[in-house]
Chains A and B, each alone.
Chain A
Amino acid sequence: MRQIKSTLKLLRRSPYQALAAALAMSLTFFIASIFVILIIGGQLVLNYIEQRPQVIAFFKDDVSEAKINEIASSIKSTGLAREVKYVSKEEALAIYRERNKDDPLLLESVSADFLPASIDISVKKAADIDQITKIVKGHTEVERVITPENLVEQLVKWTKTIRLGAVIFVSTLASVSFLIIIMVIGMRIAIRRDEVSIMNLVGATRWYISRPFFIEGALYGIIGASIAVILVYAALLFYSPNIQEFLGPIQVFPINPLFFVYLWAGEALIAALVGIIGAAIALFRYLKIR
Protein backbone atom coordinates (compact mmCIF):
# COMPACT_ATOMS: atom_id res chain seq x y z
CA MET A 1 0.00 0.00 0.00
CA ARG A 2 2.73 2.43 1.02
CA GLN A 3 4.59 1.36 -2.10
CA ILE A 4 1.67 2.14 -4.34
CA LYS A 5 1.18 5.47 -2.59
CA SER A 6 4.80 6.45 -3.08
CA THR A 7 4.68 5.28 -6.70
CA LEU A 8 1.68 7.52 -7.29
CA LYS A 9 3.49 10.39 -5.64
CA LEU A 10 6.40 9.88 -8.01
CA LEU A 11 4.09 9.81 -11.00
CA ARG A 12 2.63 13.13 -9.90
CA ARG A 13 6.06 14.64 -9.54
CA SER A 14 7.17 13.98 -13.10
CA PRO A 15 3.97 13.60 -15.06
CA TYR A 16 5.43 13.98 -18.55
CA GLN A 17 7.49 10.83 -18.54
CA ALA A 18 4.59 8.97 -17.03
CA LEU A 19 2.32 10.40 -19.70
CA ALA A 20 4.69 9.39 -22.49
CA ALA A 21 4.88 5.84 -21.19
CA ALA A 22 1.15 5.47 -20.65
CA LEU A 23 0.31 7.02 -24.03
CA ALA A 24 2.73 4.80 -25.91
CA MET A 25 1.11 1.84 -24.20
CA SER A 26 -2.41 3.02 -24.98
CA LEU A 27 -1.57 3.65 -28.64
CA THR A 28 -0.10 0.16 -28.90
CA PHE A 29 -3.07 -1.49 -27.34
CA PHE A 30 -5.60 0.68 -29.18
CA ILE A 31 -4.15 -0.51 -32.47
CA ALA A 32 -3.96 -4.04 -31.11
CA SER A 33 -7.62 -3.88 -30.10
CA ILE A 34 -8.62 -2.71 -33.56
CA PHE A 35 -6.78 -5.63 -35.09
CA VAL A 36 -8.36 -8.01 -32.62
CA ILE A 37 -11.78 -6.67 -33.58
CA LEU A 38 -11.04 -6.85 -37.31
CA ILE A 39 -9.87 -10.42 -36.97
CA ILE A 40 -12.86 -11.42 -34.87
CA GLY A 41 -15.18 -9.54 -37.27
CA GLY A 42 -13.66 -11.28 -40.28
CA GLN A 43 -14.12 -14.60 -38.51
CA LEU A 44 -17.77 -13.75 -37.83
CA VAL A 45 -18.37 -13.00 -41.49
CA LEU A 46 -16.67 -16.26 -42.49
CA ASN A 47 -18.73 -18.17 -39.94
CA TYR A 48 -21.87 -16.58 -41.31
CA ILE A 49 -20.96 -17.62 -44.83
CA GLU A 50 -20.09 -21.12 -43.69
CA GLN A 51 -23.51 -21.47 -42.13
CA ARG A 52 -25.46 -21.21 -45.37
CA PRO A 53 -25.19 -23.03 -48.65
CA GLN A 54 -22.43 -21.49 -50.61
CA VAL A 55 -22.38 -23.65 -53.67
CA ILE A 56 -25.53 -24.30 -55.67
CA ALA A 57 -25.29 -26.68 -58.59
CA PHE A 58 -28.14 -26.62 -61.13
CA PHE A 59 -28.62 -29.76 -63.17
CA LYS A 60 -29.48 -30.19 -66.82
CA ASP A 61 -33.11 -30.87 -67.45
CA ASP A 62 -32.80 -34.54 -68.30
CA VAL A 63 -30.73 -35.67 -65.32
CA SER A 64 -32.57 -38.18 -63.15
CA GLU A 65 -33.12 -37.82 -59.46
CA ALA A 66 -31.12 -40.99 -58.84
CA LYS A 67 -28.13 -39.60 -60.72
CA ILE A 68 -28.36 -36.35 -58.79
CA ASN A 69 -28.44 -38.24 -55.51
CA GLU A 70 -25.43 -40.21 -56.58
CA ILE A 71 -23.53 -37.04 -57.34
CA ALA A 72 -24.71 -35.58 -54.06
CA SER A 73 -23.37 -38.50 -52.06
CA SER A 74 -20.09 -38.45 -53.98
CA ILE A 75 -19.70 -34.83 -52.92
CA LYS A 76 -20.55 -35.70 -49.40
CA SER A 77 -17.90 -38.40 -49.39
CA THR A 78 -15.16 -35.83 -50.04
CA GLY A 79 -15.62 -34.80 -46.45
CA LEU A 80 -15.47 -31.14 -47.34
CA ALA A 81 -19.22 -30.58 -47.28
CA ARG A 82 -21.17 -30.14 -44.11
CA GLU A 83 -24.49 -30.58 -45.83
CA VAL A 84 -25.64 -31.46 -49.32
CA LYS A 85 -29.30 -30.82 -49.92
CA TYR A 86 -31.23 -31.99 -52.93
CA VAL A 87 -33.82 -29.48 -54.18
CA SER A 88 -36.17 -31.03 -56.71
CA LYS A 89 -37.93 -29.09 -59.46
CA GLU A 90 -41.09 -29.07 -57.38
CA GLU A 91 -39.33 -27.78 -54.31
CA ALA A 92 -37.62 -25.15 -56.41
CA LEU A 93 -41.01 -24.07 -57.64
CA ALA A 94 -42.36 -23.90 -54.11
CA ILE A 95 -39.46 -21.74 -53.05
CA TYR A 96 -39.89 -19.61 -56.13
CA ARG A 97 -43.60 -19.22 -55.38
CA GLU A 98 -42.92 -18.30 -51.80
CA ARG A 99 -40.39 -15.70 -52.80
CA ASN A 100 -42.57 -14.08 -55.42
CA LYS A 101 -45.96 -14.49 -53.83
CA ASP A 102 -46.68 -10.79 -54.17
CA ASP A 103 -46.17 -10.83 -57.92
CA PRO A 104 -48.93 -12.80 -59.71
CA LEU A 105 -47.43 -12.08 -63.09
CA LEU A 106 -44.23 -13.92 -62.29
CA LEU A 107 -46.10 -16.75 -60.65
CA GLU A 108 -48.25 -17.52 -63.62
CA SER A 109 -45.48 -17.79 -66.15
CA VAL A 110 -43.59 -20.50 -64.29
CA SER A 111 -44.15 -24.22 -63.94
CA ALA A 112 -42.07 -26.92 -62.24
CA ASP A 113 -40.46 -27.96 -65.51
CA PHE A 114 -39.21 -24.49 -66.02
CA LEU A 115 -36.97 -24.56 -62.96
CA PRO A 116 -33.92 -26.80 -62.75
CA ALA A 117 -33.33 -29.27 -59.96
CA SER A 118 -30.30 -28.43 -57.81
CA ILE A 119 -28.17 -29.43 -54.89
CA ASP A 120 -27.32 -26.83 -52.25
CA ILE A 121 -23.97 -27.48 -50.66
CA SER A 122 -22.71 -25.94 -47.47
CA VAL A 123 -19.04 -26.41 -46.78
CA LYS A 124 -17.34 -27.08 -43.49
CA LYS A 125 -14.73 -24.40 -44.07
CA ALA A 126 -15.13 -21.38 -46.26
CA ALA A 127 -11.65 -21.93 -47.60
CA ASP A 128 -12.81 -25.18 -49.26
CA ILE A 129 -15.43 -23.54 -51.43
CA ASP A 130 -13.12 -23.37 -54.43
CA GLN A 131 -12.29 -27.02 -54.30
CA ILE A 132 -15.91 -28.10 -53.98
CA THR A 133 -16.87 -25.85 -56.87
CA LYS A 134 -14.24 -27.54 -59.02
CA ILE A 135 -15.51 -30.98 -58.10
CA VAL A 136 -19.09 -30.02 -58.85
CA LYS A 137 -18.18 -28.47 -62.15
CA GLY A 138 -16.40 -31.68 -63.09
CA HIS A 139 -19.77 -33.48 -63.42
CA THR A 140 -21.13 -33.11 -66.95
CA GLU A 141 -24.69 -33.35 -65.68
CA VAL A 142 -24.25 -30.01 -63.96
CA GLU A 143 -25.48 -27.11 -66.03
CA ARG A 144 -24.46 -24.15 -63.91
CA VAL A 145 -22.82 -23.50 -60.54
CA ILE A 146 -23.36 -20.48 -58.38
CA THR A 147 -20.73 -19.73 -55.81
CA PRO A 148 -19.63 -16.68 -53.89
CA GLU A 149 -16.09 -17.78 -54.58
CA ASN A 150 -14.68 -14.34 -55.15
CA LEU A 151 -16.11 -12.91 -51.99
CA VAL A 152 -14.84 -15.76 -49.85
CA GLU A 153 -11.47 -15.83 -51.52
CA GLN A 154 -11.10 -12.12 -50.91
CA LEU A 155 -12.25 -12.48 -47.37
CA VAL A 156 -9.82 -15.27 -46.59
CA LYS A 157 -7.03 -13.31 -48.20
CA TRP A 158 -7.95 -10.22 -46.24
CA THR A 159 -8.04 -12.03 -42.95
CA LYS A 160 -4.58 -13.37 -43.64
CA THR A 161 -3.29 -9.93 -44.55
CA ILE A 162 -4.86 -8.43 -41.46
CA ARG A 163 -3.26 -11.06 -39.27
CA LEU A 164 0.13 -10.41 -40.79
CA GLY A 165 -0.37 -6.66 -40.46
CA ALA A 166 -1.42 -7.13 -36.86
CA VAL A 167 1.72 -9.06 -36.04
CA ILE A 168 4.06 -6.57 -37.72
CA PHE A 169 2.32 -3.39 -36.62
CA VAL A 170 1.54 -4.41 -33.07
CA SER A 171 4.95 -5.89 -32.43
CA THR A 172 6.63 -2.72 -33.71
CA LEU A 173 4.45 -0.55 -31.49
CA ALA A 174 4.94 -2.88 -28.56
CA SER A 175 8.72 -2.66 -29.02
CA VAL A 176 8.50 1.11 -29.04
CA SER A 177 6.47 1.23 -25.84
CA PHE A 178 8.81 -1.33 -24.37
CA LEU A 179 11.79 0.91 -25.10
CA ILE A 180 9.96 3.95 -23.74
CA ILE A 181 9.21 2.06 -20.53
CA ILE A 182 12.87 1.09 -20.20
CA MET A 183 13.87 4.73 -20.74
CA VAL A 184 11.31 6.18 -18.36
CA ILE A 185 12.05 3.69 -15.61
CA GLY A 186 15.76 4.15 -16.22
CA MET A 187 15.29 7.87 -15.62
CA ARG A 188 13.31 7.12 -12.49
CA ILE A 189 16.12 4.98 -11.16
CA ALA A 190 18.59 7.76 -11.93
CA ILE A 191 16.41 10.34 -10.18
CA ARG A 192 16.09 8.12 -7.13
CA ARG A 193 19.75 7.15 -7.10
CA ASP A 194 20.36 8.63 -3.63
CA GLU A 195 17.30 7.04 -2.17
CA VAL A 196 18.18 3.71 -3.69
CA SER A 197 21.72 3.79 -2.37
CA ILE A 198 20.57 4.78 1.12
CA MET A 199 17.94 2.07 1.22
CA ASN A 200 20.58 -0.36 0.06
CA LEU A 201 22.94 0.75 2.84
CA VAL A 202 20.33 0.42 5.57
CA GLY A 203 19.56 -3.14 4.54
CA ALA A 204 16.84 -3.02 1.92
CA THR A 205 16.74 -6.12 -0.24
CA ARG A 206 17.10 -5.84 -3.98
CA TRP A 207 13.47 -6.87 -4.29
CA TYR A 208 12.32 -4.17 -1.87
CA ILE A 209 14.18 -1.54 -3.86
CA SER A 210 13.01 -2.86 -7.21
CA ARG A 211 9.37 -3.36 -6.32
CA PRO A 212 8.18 0.24 -6.84
CA PHE A 213 9.75 0.25 -10.28
CA PHE A 214 7.99 -2.99 -11.19
CA ILE A 215 4.73 -1.55 -9.90
CA GLU A 216 5.32 1.55 -11.97
CA GLY A 217 5.98 -0.47 -15.11
CA ALA A 218 2.91 -2.59 -14.57
CA LEU A 219 0.86 0.53 -13.89
CA TYR A 220 1.86 2.09 -17.21
CA GLY A 221 0.75 -1.07 -18.94
CA ILE A 222 -2.56 -1.31 -17.13
CA ILE A 223 -3.38 2.38 -17.54
CA GLY A 224 -2.40 2.24 -21.22
CA ALA A 225 -4.49 -0.85 -21.92
CA SER A 226 -7.45 0.63 -20.05
CA ILE A 227 -7.35 3.85 -22.06
CA ALA A 228 -7.10 1.79 -25.25
CA VAL A 229 -10.11 -0.37 -24.44
CA ILE A 230 -12.20 2.65 -23.43
CA LEU A 231 -11.34 4.34 -26.74
CA VAL A 232 -12.19 1.21 -28.70
CA TYR A 233 -15.47 0.87 -26.87
CA ALA A 234 -16.36 4.48 -27.64
CA ALA A 235 -15.34 4.12 -31.28
CA LEU A 236 -17.39 0.96 -31.75
CA LEU A 237 -20.39 2.60 -30.15
CA PHE A 238 -20.03 5.67 -32.30
CA TYR A 239 -19.58 3.81 -35.55
CA SER A 240 -21.98 0.95 -34.89
CA PRO A 241 -24.59 2.15 -37.46
CA ASN A 242 -21.96 2.33 -40.20
CA ILE A 243 -20.48 -1.00 -39.26
CA GLN A 244 -23.86 -2.69 -39.20
CA GLU A 245 -24.70 -1.22 -42.59
CA PHE A 246 -21.45 -2.56 -44.00
CA LEU A 247 -22.02 -6.03 -42.61
CA GLY A 248 -25.59 -6.20 -43.93
CA PRO A 249 -27.41 -9.26 -42.66
CA ILE A 250 -24.66 -10.30 -40.27
CA GLN A 251 -25.83 -9.27 -36.84
CA VAL A 252 -23.02 -8.19 -34.47
CA PHE A 253 -24.63 -5.48 -32.35
CA PRO A 254 -25.18 -5.12 -29.51
CA ILE A 255 -21.76 -6.49 -28.61
CA ASN A 256 -21.74 -8.52 -25.44
CA PRO A 257 -20.19 -6.31 -22.72
CA LEU A 258 -18.25 -9.38 -21.57
CA PHE A 259 -16.26 -9.08 -24.78
CA PHE A 260 -14.89 -5.77 -23.58
CA VAL A 261 -14.19 -7.16 -20.14
CA TYR A 262 -12.17 -9.99 -21.66
CA LEU A 263 -10.46 -7.64 -24.08
CA TRP A 264 -9.53 -5.36 -21.21
CA ALA A 265 -8.38 -8.18 -18.95
CA GLY A 266 -6.31 -9.78 -21.71
CA GLU A 267 -4.69 -6.55 -22.82
CA ALA A 268 -4.12 -5.26 -19.29
CA LEU A 269 -2.36 -8.51 -18.47
CA ILE A 270 -0.14 -8.41 -21.54
CA ALA A 271 0.53 -4.68 -21.08
CA ALA A 272 1.41 -5.17 -17.42
CA LEU A 273 3.83 -7.90 -18.47
CA VAL A 274 5.42 -5.60 -21.05
CA GLY A 275 5.76 -2.95 -18.32
CA ILE A 276 7.20 -5.38 -15.81
CA ILE A 277 9.72 -6.83 -18.24
CA GLY A 278 10.67 -3.30 -19.31
CA ALA A 279 11.19 -2.38 -15.67
CA ALA A 280 13.24 -5.53 -15.14
CA ILE A 281 15.56 -4.62 -18.00
CA ALA A 282 15.88 -1.03 -16.77
CA LEU A 283 16.67 -2.31 -13.28
CA PHE A 284 19.20 -4.79 -14.57
CA ARG A 285 20.82 -2.06 -16.61
CA TYR A 286 20.72 0.90 -14.25
CA LEU A 287 20.30 -0.32 -10.69
CA LYS A 288 23.83 -0.63 -9.45
CA ILE A 289 23.75 -1.80 -5.87
CA ARG A 290 25.71 -4.35 -3.93
Chain B
Amino acid sequence: MIQFEQVTKKYPNGQIALEDVDLTIEDGEFLFVVGPSGAGKSTLLKLITRETSPTSGQILFNSQSISRIPGGKIPQLRRKIGTVFQDFKLLLNRTVFENVAVPLEVLGKKDSEIEKEVSAVLEKVDLLEKASSFPAQLSGGEVQRTAIARAIVAKPEVLLADEPTGDLDPKTAREVVHVLEKINDEDKNIIVMATHNVQIVNHFKKRVIVLEKGKIIKDEKEGKYETD
Protein backbone atom coordinates (compact mmCIF):
# COMPACT_ATOMS: atom_id res chain seq x y z
CA MET B 1 0.00 0.00 0.00
CA ILE B 2 1.18 3.48 -0.87
CA GLN B 3 -0.16 6.53 0.95
CA PHE B 4 0.45 10.19 0.18
CA GLU B 5 -0.35 12.41 3.15
CA GLN B 6 -0.60 16.15 2.48
CA VAL B 7 2.31 15.94 0.08
CA THR B 8 3.67 19.13 -1.41
CA LYS B 9 6.66 19.24 -3.70
CA LYS B 10 8.29 22.51 -4.49
CA TYR B 11 11.40 22.36 -6.66
CA PRO B 12 14.38 24.49 -5.62
CA ASN B 13 13.60 26.93 -8.45
CA GLY B 14 10.28 27.70 -6.77
CA GLN B 15 8.14 25.62 -9.13
CA ILE B 16 5.35 23.90 -7.22
CA ALA B 17 4.90 20.47 -8.85
CA LEU B 18 2.49 18.93 -6.32
CA GLU B 19 0.34 20.58 -3.71
CA ASP B 20 -1.45 18.98 -0.76
CA VAL B 21 -1.81 15.61 -2.40
CA ASP B 22 -3.68 12.94 -0.43
CA LEU B 23 -3.77 9.58 -2.13
CA THR B 24 -4.03 5.94 -1.12
CA ILE B 25 -3.12 3.17 -3.53
CA GLU B 26 -4.19 -0.30 -2.39
CA ASP B 27 -2.24 -3.47 -3.05
CA GLY B 28 -3.02 -4.94 -6.45
CA GLU B 29 -4.48 -1.70 -7.71
CA PHE B 30 -4.03 -0.44 -11.28
CA LEU B 31 -4.05 3.33 -11.31
CA PHE B 32 -3.92 5.82 -14.15
CA VAL B 33 -2.53 9.24 -13.32
CA VAL B 34 -3.60 11.68 -15.97
CA GLY B 35 -3.35 15.39 -16.51
CA PRO B 36 -1.88 17.93 -18.85
CA SER B 37 1.83 18.36 -19.34
CA GLY B 38 3.48 19.84 -16.27
CA ALA B 39 0.65 18.74 -13.97
CA GLY B 40 3.06 16.83 -11.73
CA LYS B 41 2.62 13.22 -12.89
CA SER B 42 6.32 12.41 -13.16
CA THR B 43 6.97 14.16 -9.88
CA LEU B 44 4.39 11.97 -8.17
CA LEU B 45 6.18 8.84 -9.42
CA LYS B 46 9.63 10.18 -8.55
CA LEU B 47 8.50 10.75 -4.99
CA ILE B 48 7.67 7.04 -4.67
CA THR B 49 11.15 5.96 -5.77
CA ARG B 50 12.73 8.74 -3.75
CA GLU B 51 14.34 10.20 -6.80
CA THR B 52 13.14 13.34 -5.15
CA SER B 53 11.78 14.14 -1.68
CA PRO B 54 8.61 15.98 -0.67
CA THR B 55 8.91 19.52 0.60
CA SER B 56 6.23 18.75 3.18
CA GLY B 57 3.90 15.90 4.04
CA GLN B 58 4.91 12.27 3.86
CA ILE B 59 4.66 9.19 1.70
CA LEU B 60 4.19 5.79 3.27
CA PHE B 61 5.08 2.56 1.52
CA ASN B 62 3.72 -0.43 3.42
CA SER B 63 3.31 1.92 6.39
CA GLN B 64 6.94 2.97 6.31
CA SER B 65 7.82 6.59 5.61
CA ILE B 66 9.81 6.78 2.40
CA SER B 67 11.46 10.05 3.29
CA ARG B 68 12.75 8.63 6.57
CA ILE B 69 14.63 5.81 4.85
CA PRO B 70 18.34 6.40 5.40
CA GLY B 71 20.43 6.92 2.26
CA GLY B 72 22.03 3.51 2.46
CA LYS B 73 18.64 1.77 2.45
CA ILE B 74 17.26 3.49 -0.65
CA PRO B 75 18.46 0.67 -2.91
CA GLN B 76 16.29 -1.74 -0.92
CA LEU B 77 13.26 0.44 -1.55
CA ARG B 78 14.02 0.67 -5.24
CA ARG B 79 14.37 -3.07 -5.56
CA LYS B 80 10.72 -3.35 -4.60
CA ILE B 81 9.73 -0.87 -7.29
CA GLY B 82 10.06 -1.32 -11.04
CA THR B 83 9.98 1.82 -13.14
CA VAL B 84 9.31 2.43 -16.82
CA PHE B 85 10.86 5.85 -17.21
CA GLN B 86 9.34 8.54 -19.37
CA ASP B 87 12.61 8.67 -21.34
CA PHE B 88 13.07 4.86 -21.06
CA LYS B 89 16.68 5.14 -19.92
CA LEU B 90 17.83 2.14 -21.90
CA LEU B 91 21.56 1.67 -22.32
CA LEU B 92 22.25 2.15 -26.01
CA ASN B 93 25.41 0.09 -26.00
CA ARG B 94 23.72 -2.95 -24.50
CA THR B 95 21.38 -5.41 -26.13
CA VAL B 96 17.76 -5.85 -25.12
CA PHE B 97 18.78 -8.88 -23.10
CA GLU B 98 21.58 -7.03 -21.31
CA ASN B 99 19.34 -4.06 -20.58
CA VAL B 100 16.67 -6.23 -19.06
CA ALA B 101 19.32 -8.10 -17.05
CA VAL B 102 20.53 -4.97 -15.20
CA PRO B 103 18.16 -5.17 -12.19
CA LEU B 104 19.02 -8.84 -11.70
CA GLU B 105 22.74 -8.16 -11.92
CA VAL B 106 22.28 -5.50 -9.31
CA LEU B 107 20.65 -8.11 -7.08
CA GLY B 108 23.73 -10.29 -7.53
CA LYS B 109 21.95 -13.16 -9.24
CA LYS B 110 23.89 -15.92 -10.95
CA ASP B 111 24.28 -15.88 -14.74
CA SER B 112 22.15 -18.99 -15.11
CA GLU B 113 19.27 -17.47 -13.13
CA ILE B 114 19.56 -14.23 -15.07
CA GLU B 115 19.43 -16.13 -18.35
CA LYS B 116 16.28 -17.93 -17.27
CA GLU B 117 14.44 -14.97 -15.76
CA VAL B 118 15.27 -12.54 -18.53
CA SER B 119 14.14 -15.02 -21.16
CA ALA B 120 10.89 -15.59 -19.29
CA VAL B 121 10.15 -11.90 -19.07
CA LEU B 122 11.07 -11.26 -22.71
CA GLU B 123 8.65 -14.01 -23.62
CA LYS B 124 5.97 -12.30 -21.57
CA VAL B 125 6.38 -9.01 -23.44
CA ASP B 126 6.88 -10.88 -26.71
CA LEU B 127 10.43 -9.71 -27.37
CA LEU B 128 12.32 -12.97 -27.38
CA GLU B 129 13.40 -12.64 -31.01
CA LYS B 130 14.85 -9.20 -30.30
CA ALA B 131 16.93 -10.29 -27.35
CA SER B 132 20.23 -9.57 -29.03
CA SER B 133 19.19 -6.35 -30.77
CA PHE B 134 20.40 -2.97 -29.63
CA PRO B 135 17.84 -0.27 -28.70
CA ALA B 136 18.62 1.69 -31.86
CA GLN B 137 17.46 -1.30 -33.92
CA LEU B 138 14.03 -1.44 -32.24
CA SER B 139 10.67 0.06 -33.11
CA GLY B 140 9.06 2.45 -30.64
CA GLY B 141 6.78 -0.25 -29.25
CA GLU B 142 9.68 -2.64 -28.83
CA VAL B 143 11.65 -0.01 -26.96
CA GLN B 144 8.69 0.49 -24.66
CA ARG B 145 8.29 -3.22 -24.07
CA THR B 146 12.01 -3.53 -23.34
CA ALA B 147 11.64 -0.84 -20.70
CA ILE B 148 8.64 -2.69 -19.26
CA ALA B 149 10.54 -5.97 -19.26
CA ARG B 150 13.35 -4.36 -17.30
CA ALA B 151 10.88 -2.83 -14.86
CA ILE B 152 9.20 -6.15 -14.08
CA VAL B 153 12.06 -8.60 -14.36
CA ALA B 154 12.86 -8.49 -10.64
CA LYS B 155 9.17 -9.03 -9.75
CA PRO B 156 8.64 -5.72 -7.99
CA GLU B 157 5.78 -5.04 -5.61
CA VAL B 158 5.10 -1.79 -7.41
CA LEU B 159 5.35 -0.99 -11.09
CA LEU B 160 5.53 2.67 -12.06
CA ALA B 161 5.11 3.47 -15.72
CA ASP B 162 5.66 7.06 -16.81
CA GLU B 163 4.05 7.62 -20.20
CA PRO B 164 4.85 4.11 -21.44
CA THR B 165 2.76 4.64 -24.54
CA GLY B 166 4.59 7.82 -25.51
CA ASP B 167 4.05 8.42 -29.19
CA LEU B 168 2.89 4.96 -30.15
CA ASP B 169 0.04 4.43 -32.58
CA PRO B 170 -3.25 3.59 -30.80
CA LYS B 171 -3.04 -0.13 -31.53
CA THR B 172 0.54 -0.56 -30.27
CA ALA B 173 -0.20 1.64 -27.27
CA ARG B 174 -3.12 -0.58 -26.38
CA GLU B 175 -0.92 -3.67 -26.67
CA VAL B 176 1.65 -2.17 -24.35
CA VAL B 177 -0.96 -1.36 -21.70
CA HIS B 178 -2.45 -4.77 -22.18
CA VAL B 179 0.90 -6.23 -21.17
CA LEU B 180 0.78 -4.10 -18.01
CA GLU B 181 -2.76 -5.28 -17.29
CA LYS B 182 -1.67 -8.88 -17.68
CA ILE B 183 1.18 -8.33 -15.24
CA ASN B 184 -1.23 -6.72 -12.78
CA ASP B 185 -3.61 -9.69 -13.07
CA GLU B 186 -0.87 -12.26 -12.64
CA ASP B 187 1.37 -10.70 -10.03
CA LYS B 188 -1.20 -8.66 -8.10
CA ASN B 189 1.25 -5.80 -7.79
CA ILE B 190 0.49 -2.11 -7.69
CA ILE B 191 0.71 -0.46 -11.08
CA VAL B 192 0.74 3.30 -11.43
CA MET B 193 0.73 4.56 -14.98
CA ALA B 194 1.07 8.22 -15.87
CA THR B 195 -0.32 9.15 -19.23
CA HIS B 196 -2.24 11.68 -21.23
CA ASN B 197 -3.53 9.12 -23.70
CA VAL B 198 -7.29 9.58 -23.54
CA GLN B 199 -8.27 6.51 -25.53
CA ILE B 200 -6.12 4.22 -23.42
CA VAL B 201 -7.59 5.48 -20.15
CA ASN B 202 -11.11 5.20 -21.42
CA HIS B 203 -10.53 1.77 -22.89
CA PHE B 204 -9.09 0.03 -19.82
CA LYS B 205 -11.57 1.28 -17.22
CA LYS B 206 -9.27 1.45 -14.22
CA ARG B 207 -9.06 3.85 -11.34
CA VAL B 208 -8.13 7.29 -12.64
CA ILE B 209 -6.82 10.31 -10.80
CA VAL B 210 -6.59 13.60 -12.61
CA LEU B 211 -3.87 16.06 -11.70
CA GLU B 212 -3.96 19.66 -12.62
CA LYS B 213 -1.35 22.18 -11.59
CA GLY B 214 -0.16 19.82 -8.90
CA LYS B 215 -3.55 19.12 -7.38
CA ILE B 216 -5.76 16.05 -7.59
CA ILE B 217 -8.99 17.35 -9.09
CA LYS B 218 -10.67 14.01 -9.68
CA ASP B 219 -10.34 10.44 -8.38
CA GLU B 220 -12.66 7.77 -9.80
CA LYS B 221 -12.86 4.02 -9.86
CA GLU B 222 -13.32 2.71 -13.42
CA GLY B 223 -12.89 6.31 -14.38
CA LYS B 224 -12.76 8.11 -17.62
CA TYR B 225 -10.53 10.86 -18.81
CA GLU B 226 -12.70 13.65 -20.09
CA THR B 227 -11.13 16.48 -21.89
CA ASP B 228 -12.90 19.75 -22.21
Contacts and interface: CB of A to CB of B under 8 A. Distances in A.
Contacts of A194: 89, 91
A175 interface: no
Nearest to B83: A201
B169 interface: no
A201 B49 contact: yes
Given A2-B111, A194-B91, A290-B74, A203 B105 contact: no
A208 B74 CA distance: 13
Nearest to B90: A198
A203 B71 contact: no
A202 B106 contact: yes
Interface in B49-82: 49-51, 71-72, 74-79, 82
A203 B80 CA distance: 8
Contacts, number: 49
- Interface size on A, as a range, is 10 to 19
Contacts of B41: none
- Interface size on B, as a range, is 20 to 34
Contacts of B108: 208
Interface in A177-203: 194-195, 197-203
Contact of B103 (A195, A203, A206, A290): A203
A201 B51 contact: yes
Nearest to B107: A203
Contacts of B77: 203
Contacts of B72: 205-206
Nearest to A3: B105
A204 interface: yes
Nearest to B94: A195
A2 B107 CA distance: 13
A198 B102 contact: yes
Interface string B92-119: 0000000000110111100100000000
B159 to A, nearest CB: 13
Given A198-B102, A199-B102, A204 B91 contact: no
B150 interface: yes
Interface in B125-170: 150, 154
Interface in A271-290: 290
B89 A204 contact: no
Nearest to A197: B89
B71 A290 contact: yes
A219 B33 CA distance: 48
B126 to A, nearest CB: 22
A200 B105 CA distance: 12
Given A203-B106, A204-B106, A208-B106, A198 B75 contact: no
A259 B71 CA distance: 47
A202 B78 CA distance: 6
A197 B85 CA distance: 12
B102 to A, nearest CB: 6
Given A2-B105, A198-B102, A290-B71, A203 B91 contact: no
Given A2-B111, A208-B106, A198 B89 contact: yes
23 contacts: A2-B105, A194-B89, A198-B89, A198-B91, A199-B102, A199-B106, A201-B78, A201-B83, A202-B79, A202-B82, A202-B83, A202-B102, A202-B103, A202-B106, A203-B78, A203-B103, A203-B154, A204-B75, A205-B72, A205-B75, A208-B75, A208-B108, A290-B74
Interface of A: 2, 194-195, 197-206, 208, 290
Given A202-B79, A203-B77, A290-B74, 10 more contacts: A2-B111, A198-B91, A202-B78, A202-B82, A202-B106, A203-B103, A204-B106, A208-B75, A208-B108, A290-B71
**Shortest beta-carbon contacts, A-B, top 6:** A203-B78, A203-B79, A204-B106, A202-B103, A203-B75, A205-B75
Interface of B: 49-51, 71-72, 74-79, 82-83, 85, 89, 91, 102-103, 105-108, 111, 150, 154
